[in-house]
Amino acid sequence: MQEREEHPMERLLRMDRIPHIWCPTCGIGTTVTALAVALEQLQLDLNDVAIVSGIGCTGRVAGYTKLDSFHTTHGRAIPFALGLHIARPDLKVIVFSGDGDIVSIGGNHLIHTARRNVDITVICVNNFIYAMTGGQVAPTTPITARSATSPYGNYEHPFNIPLLAASSGAVYVARWTALHVRRLTVAIKEALTKRGFSFVEVIAPCSTLYARLNKLGSGLDLMKFYHDNSVIRHGADPKEVNIDYQSKIVVGKFVDIEKPTYLDCLNNAYKKKFGDKYKPYGGGNGDD
């Protein structure tokens, strides 16, 4: 009997769920692989890692990983993750969802969780469109780009996601495309080992809807566009990394700072009030 070949990421991915639902050339699968490789290289105990996803194409990620996972309601991946972190601060909590879920209906949760500097990692796959529901305009759709609900071109200014995360208080902010697999993997590793609110944006192709509606060619054509038009600028001011329709894409690590986390601040406040009577929440000493 022929032995079954083992997938290199079998320790991290649920092989019984393969094949996945994502379209050929979609960048979500590439991003999942980058996360899996990052976890493998960090040699984290998978019992100490949890992943939370919302609704949409990227929201299906949680179900493909061999991690404790939550597939939450639309826009609520970050508050679910926040609650999980507060209940189990010993866990490494990852939010893995899309731009429509995190930046649109979940935008309020994004800015306040970043403001509090809650110690979670957010991976946001940005394909510039609401893909699972048919290609509607999103808050990330570049101005003039077409969608199912903006057939003559989008006339609304999109969010600059790195600027949104950075100005809200994130201590780590990076952006890469689905083409930059090794650099993306490094960014995810850095985000996972950073104390505080870490945010990684991944520019990913949607050849089925966004590319078709805008006549941009195949997924391979989009990858070539990323190759020819990505500009690496580590330390760039997030105000200057906005993406226009078919413009250059500034990628890199934009923010990497140190700041007390939410639980650090909570512990310090109560330790000052109650002194030695207070038992620090989450096992910290209240001094850092």
* Number of domains the chain is built from: 2
Whether 93 and 208 share a structural domain: yes
Whether 174 and 78 share a structural domain: yes
Tell me whether residue 6 is in a domain. no
Non-local CB neighbours of 129 within 8 Å, separated by 6+ positions? 100, 135, 136, 137, 138, 140, 141, 147, 206, 209, 210, 213
With beta carbons less than 8 A apart as the criterion, state whether 113 and 121 touch.
Answer: no
pLDDT for 137: 96
Report strand pairing: 172-177 vs 249-256: antiparallel
Neighbours of 190 (CB within 10 A): 17
Q: What is the CATH number of the domain that holds 217?
A: 3.40.50.970
Tell me whether residue 8 is in a domain. no
Tell me whether residue 287 is in a domain. yes
Non-local CB neighbours of 285 within 8 Å, separated by 6+ positions? 267
Write down the H helix ranges in the chain.
Answer: 28-42, 77-87, 99, 107-116, 161-168, 181-192, 210-213, 219-229, 262-274
Whether 147 and 278 share a structural domain: no
- The amino acid that residue 237 corresponds to is D
Tell me whether residue 147 is in a domain. yes
Tell me whether residue 9 is in a domain. no
Whether 172 and 36 share a structural domain: yes
Tell me whether residue 59 is in a domain. yes
Whether 141 and 280 share a structural domain: no
Tell me whether residue 1 is in a domain. no
With beta carbons less than 8 A apart as the criterion, state whether 130 and 136 touch.
Answer: yes
Whether 150 and 112 share a structural domain: yes
Whether 157 and 287 share a structural domain: no
Tell me whether residue 7 is in a domain. no
Whether 155 and 75 share a structural domain: yes
Non-local CB neighbours of 6 within 8 Å, separated by 6+ positions? none
Q: What is the pLDDT along the chain (288 residues), one digit of tens a residue?
A: 567 677 778 888 888 888 888 999 999 999 999 999 999 999 999 999 999 999 999 989 998 999 999 999 999 999 999 999 999 999 999 999 999 999 999 999 999 999 999 999 999 999 999 998 899 999 999 999 999 999 999 999 999 999 999 999 999 999 999 999 999 999 999 999 999 999 999 999 999 999 999 999 998 999 999 999 999 999 999 999 999 998 999 999 999 999 999 999 999 999 999 998 998 887 544 444
Whether 237 and 267 share a structural domain: no
Whether 200 and 271 share a structural domain: no
Buried b (16+ CB within 10 A) or exposed e, 79-111: bbbbebbeeebebbbbbbbbbbbbbbbbbebbb
| Residue appearing with tokens 């505080």 | 196
DSSP conformation letters of 213-249:
HTT---HHHHHHHHHHHEEE-TT--GGG----TT--E
Buried b (16+ CB within 10 A) or exposed e, 269-285: ebbeeeeeeeebebebe
Q: What is the residue range of 287's domain?
A: 262-288
Write the DSSP symbol of residue 100: I
pLDDT for 13: 87
Whether 189 and 283 share a structural domain: no
With beta carbons less than 8 A apart as the criterion, state whether 148 and 136 touch.
Answer: yes
| Token code pair at residue 151 | 């057939």
Whether 210 and 158 share a structural domain: yes
